[in-house]
């Protein structure tokens, strides 16, 4: 079975790798991957600048989600996996221009420790009293989807939306709490509200249960984030090294897709090719355009997925220039602070192998759902904004020895209310078609591990189909 994979980011490359694994195990599959740009990896890209590793896109992935680490193990690069330096993990929130550390016991915006919550200047006394009152929140079924902001506001008030929910979500989704679906991005919150009512009580209960389970199993805590010694690019390079170069069409955008008998006809600048099956691993809007003549409902649902754009800026300093900066992983900036910068990571503290002992790297995030205009600015304008805002927040005025700006246009899928229903409809139509599969960051999670999972599942779906057709042919 000839399979076309459209899109060469981590989702498409995972599909290609797992199809190659299936082929090696006897599945009658042969994959060709089409990538429109001049390089593979999509938004995953690492630079080497001097003796530093600089990430343009993702810098790591969540350790608790297994698919990316599993892929690294299957690629033989597990020995190069590195964990975040969690013993140095302090994250600050900027409040009225000052860096305030997130209080101990805060579990994804839900407080679980009384004293640190009572003492922190992060919340006003009104919010602290509200948090105490939240313990009495009665359980209630959540019938309709709502935004994260709506749910967090119901429980803790608007200050927690502004100072925690919004900055945390803009870091992960490049979106804002007022437009992201709580069911899609924080399904655990919905379950907790249904069972316990109070999110604080639910978190306390789940923390206790987890601690008991971990103690019984002699569990050793794992770092929160995992990356690769050579940068995330190492994952891309390792996958590409396992693929047949003849199967890769780089700089080759697919412009259209039509039905051809039981299969598909795919058009690129290099001509028309026929395939038995297709895996889409592009942003949803690209798949929508190509499928509009094939299934209007599928095209409409895919076309309805919104995307936000972002800019990352890395600044290289000498470590001694950062003497006035606090320790920790970095800071998040609530929208109410009026800056364009959304967050800054102290890369040299967060991960080993990113900068030598005498160097430091600050990585800043801009853009997101509320500031798409930042992409229209020149690199010089963006650098000037970032340097001014870093100076205002940390006092750091020193000249960096390099600055690098990366732009990611409409790269982050937005899981808005109704997203899960939309994905369910897409899944049902695709399942019916059989020789079409979907992967990508709009499908089952925005992060790298979920993208790997979608690529792997698409490959498994196609390999199962190829095996079934082979068996039917022999019968």
Ligand X SMILES: Cc1cc2nc3c(=O)[nH]c(=O)nc-3n(C[C@H](O)[C@H](O)[C@H](O)COP(=O)(O)OP(=O)(O)OC[C@H]3O[C@@H](n4cnc5c(N)ncnc54)[C@H](O)[C@@H]3O)c2cc1C
Binding interface with ligand X (CB under 6 A): 6-12, 34-37, 42-44, 57-61, 253-254, 281-283, 286, 310, 312, 408, 411-412, 440-441, 446-448, 451
Closer CB to ligand X, 253 or 427, in the complex: 253
Closer CB to ligand X, 71 or 151, in the complex: 71
Closer CB to ligand X, 164 or 446, in the complex: 446
Q: How far is the CB of 7 from ligand X (least distance, A)?
A: 3
Nearest to 365 by CA among 397, 332, 394: 332
Instruction: Please answer whether residues 115 and 103 qualify as being in contact, where contact means their C-beta atoms are separated by less than 8 angstroms.
Output: no
Sign of the four-CA dihedral 253, 243, 64, 344: negative
Q: How far is the CB of 328 from ligand X (least distance, A)?
A: 17
Closer CB to ligand X, 39 or 209, in the complex: 39
Closer CB to ligand X, 95 or 266, in the complex: 266
Q: What would the two tokens of residue 168 be?
A: 């945390």
Q: Element (H or E) spanning 90, and its range?
A: none
What's the DSSP call for residue 9?
A: B
Q: How far is the CB of 441 from ligand X (least distance, A)?
A: 3
Closer CB to ligand X, 58 or 167, in the complex: 58
Q: How far is the CB of 385 from ligand X (least distance, A)?
A: 17
Task: Supply φ then ψ for residue 177, to 5 degrees.
Answer: -60, -25
Could you tell me how many helices (H) and strands (E) the chain has, helices first?
A: 17, 22
- Give the position of tokens 């089409």: 34
β-partners of residue 273 are 266
Q: How far is the CB of 130 from ligand X (least distance, A)?
A: 32
Q: How far is the CB of 268 from ligand X (least distance, A)?
A: 8
Q: How far is the CB of 415 from ligand X (least distance, A)?
A: 12
CA angle 62–67–68, rounded 5-degree value: 65
Output the furthest CA–CA distance in the chain (Å, rounded).
75
- Give the position of tokens 């094939």: 294
DSSP string spanning 188-239? HHHHHHHHHS-HHHHHHHHHHHHHHHHHHHTPPPPPSEEEETT-THHHHHHH
Q: How far is the CB of 93 from ligand X (least distance, A)?
A: 19
Closer CB to ligand X, 160 or 235, in the complex: 235
Closer CB to ligand X, 16 or 52, in the complex: 16
Q: How far is the CB of 52 from ligand X (least distance, A)?
A: 17
Q: How far is the CB of 43 from ligand X (least distance, A)?
A: 4
Interatomic CA distance for residues 117 and 132, integer angstroms:
10
Query: Who's near 443: CB < 8 A, 6+ residues apart?
Result: 423, 426, 450, 454
Interatomic CA distance for residues 271 and 34, integer angstroms:
13
- Give the position of tokens 């102290």: 346
Interatomic CA distance for residues 232 and 115, integer angstroms:
39
Indicate the pairing of strand 30-35 with strand 2-6. Answer: parallel
Closer CB to ligand X, 114 or 172, in the complex: 172
β-partners of residue 404 are 314
Q: Which residue number has the CB closest to ligand X?
A: 42
Closer CB to ligand X, 99 or 342, in the complex: 342
Interatomic CA distance for residues 42 and 61, integer angstroms:
16
């Amino acid at each position: 079975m000839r399979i076309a994979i459209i899109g060469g980011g981590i989702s498409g490359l995972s599909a290609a790798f797992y199809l190659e694994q299936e082929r090696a195990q006897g599945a009658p599959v042969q994959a060709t991957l089409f990538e429109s740009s001049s390089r593979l990896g999509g938004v995953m890209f690492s630079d080497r600048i001097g003796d530093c590793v600089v990430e343009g896109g993702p810098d790591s992935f969540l350790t608790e989600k297994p698919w990316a680490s599993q892929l690294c193990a299957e690629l033989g690069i597990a020995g190069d996996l590195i964990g975040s330096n969690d013993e140095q993990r302090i994250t600050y929130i900027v409040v009225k221009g000052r860096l305030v550390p997130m209080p101990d016991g805060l579990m994804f915006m839900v407080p679980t420790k009384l004293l640190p919550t009572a003492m922190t200047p992060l919340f006003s006394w009104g919010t602290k009293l509200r948090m105490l009152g939240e313990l009495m929140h009665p359980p209630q079924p959540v019938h309709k989807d709502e935004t994260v902001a709506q749910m967090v506001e119901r429980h803790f008030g608007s200050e927690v939306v502004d100072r925690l929910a919004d900055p945390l979500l803009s870091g992960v989704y490049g979106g804002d709490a007022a437009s992201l679906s709580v069911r899609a991005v924080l399904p655990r919150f919905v379950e907790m509200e249904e069972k316990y009512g109070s999110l604080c009580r639910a978190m306390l209960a789940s923390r206790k249960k987890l601690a008991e389970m971990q103690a019984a199993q002699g569990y050793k805590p794992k770092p929160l984030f995992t990356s690769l010694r050579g940068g995330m690019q190492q994952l891309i390079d390792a996958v590409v090294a396992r693929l047949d170069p003849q199967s890769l069409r780089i700089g080759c955008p697919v412009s259209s897709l039509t039905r051809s008998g039981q299969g598909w006809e795919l058009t690129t600048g290099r001509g028309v090719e026929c395939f038995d099956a297709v895996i889409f691993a592009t942003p949803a809007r690209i798949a929508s355009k190509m499928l509009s003549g094939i299934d209007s409902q599928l095209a409409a649902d895919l076309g309805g997925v919104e995307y936000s754009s972002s800019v990352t800026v890395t600044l290289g300093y000498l470590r001694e220039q950062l003497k006035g900066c606090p320790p920790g992983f970095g800071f998040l900036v609530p929208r109410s602070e009026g800056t364009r910068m959304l967050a800054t990571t102290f890369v040299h503290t967060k991960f080993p192998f990113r900068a030598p002992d005498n160097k430091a790297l600050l990585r800043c995030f801009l853009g997101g759902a509320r500031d798409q205009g930042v992409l229209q600015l020149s690199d010089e304008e963006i650098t000037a904004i970032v340097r001014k805002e870093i100076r205002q927040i940390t006092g750091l005025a020193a000249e960096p020895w390099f600055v690098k700006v990366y732009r990611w246009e409409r790269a982050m899928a937005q899981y808005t209310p109704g997203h899960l229903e939309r994905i369910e409809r897409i899944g049902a139509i695709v399942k019916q078609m059989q020789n079409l599969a979907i992967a990508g960051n709009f499908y089952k999670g925005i992060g790298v591990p979920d993208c790997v999972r979608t690529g792997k599942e698409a490959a498994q779906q196609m390999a199962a189909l190829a095996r079934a057709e082979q068996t039917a042919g022999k019968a």
